[in-house]
Amino acid sequence: MPKAVLNVPSAEPKDIRWFYDKYAAMLLGYINGIVQDHRKSEDYLVSILTAFTAEFGTTEKSQLSIWLELRQYAQSKLAVLTEKHHSLTPAHVNSNGNLDLLDDLQKQIFCAVYYHGKSISQLATAFSSEEDEIRNQLKRSIDKMRRSRGN
Amino acid sequence: MEIKRIIESGLMETYVMGIATEEEVQQVLLLKKEYPEFKDALENLEMDMEVLAQGMAIMPPAGTLEKIETKINEIQRRSQVVQKIVVPNTGSESGRADKEEKYIEVEAESNQMRVNKAWKWVFIAVFILGKVFLAGAIYFYLENRQAREEIKELKLELKQKIK
Q: Tens of pLDDT along A74-113? A: 998 888 766 655 555 555 666 666 788 899 999 999 999 9
Report the run of H or E that residue A85 belongs to, with start and end: helix A79-85
What confidence score (pLDDT) does residue B96 get? 58
Instruction: Report the pLDDT value the prediction gives residue A9, as an integer from 0 to 100.
Output: 41
Q: At what angle do helices B36-55 and A66-77 cross, to 10 degrees?
A: 60
- Are B68 and A49 contacting, i.e. CB atoms less than 8 angstroms apart? yes
Q: Which 21-40 residues of chain A touch chain B by CB within 8 A?
A: 24-26, 28-30, 32-33
For range A23-44, the mean pLDDT: 91
As a whole number, the mean pLDDT across chain A is 80
d(CA B16, CA B147): 111
Residue A1's pLDDT is 39
Q: Which residues of A touch B51 (CB under 8 A)?
A: 149, 151
Residue A148, pLDDT score: 83
Q: Alpha-carbon Rg of chain A, whole angstroms?
A: 17
pLDDT of residue B41: 94
- Amino acid code (one letter) for B112: Q
pLDDT the model gives residue B103 = 61
Residue A127 class from Cβ within 10 Å (0-12 exposed, 13-18 middle, 19+ buried)?
middle
Q: Does domain A98-148 have CATH number 3.20.20.100?
A: no
Between A57 and B63, the higher pLDDT residue: B63
Residue A100 DSSP one-character state? G
Measured at the alpha carbon of residue A118, what is the angle toward residues A115 and A122, in degrees to the nearest 5?
155
* pLDDT computed for residue A83 by the predictor: 62
**Mean pLDDT score, A9-19:** 62
pTM over 0.90: no
Contact residues on chain B for A138, CB-CB shorter than 8 A: 10, 13-14, 17
Tell me which residues of chain B have a pLDDT lower than 50: none
Position A24 scores a pLDDT of 93
**Residue in A55, A101, A48 with CA at minimum distance from that of residue A74:** A48
Q: How many Cβ atoms sit within 10 Å of the Cβ of residue A76? A: 13
Q: Give CA–CA dist B133/A48, Å, rounded.
A: 74
Chain B: closest CA distance from residue A20 (Å) = 7
| Extents of the domains making up chain A | 3-85, 98-148
What pLDDT does A2 receive? 41
CATH architecture of A3-85: Orthogonal Bundle (1.10)
Q: How far apart are CA B104 and CA B56, in angstroms?
A: 48
ipTM of the assembly? 0.79
Give residue B114's region: left, alpha or beta (phi > 0; psi -120 to 50).
beta
Q: Which residue has the higher pLDDT, B97 or A37?
A: A37
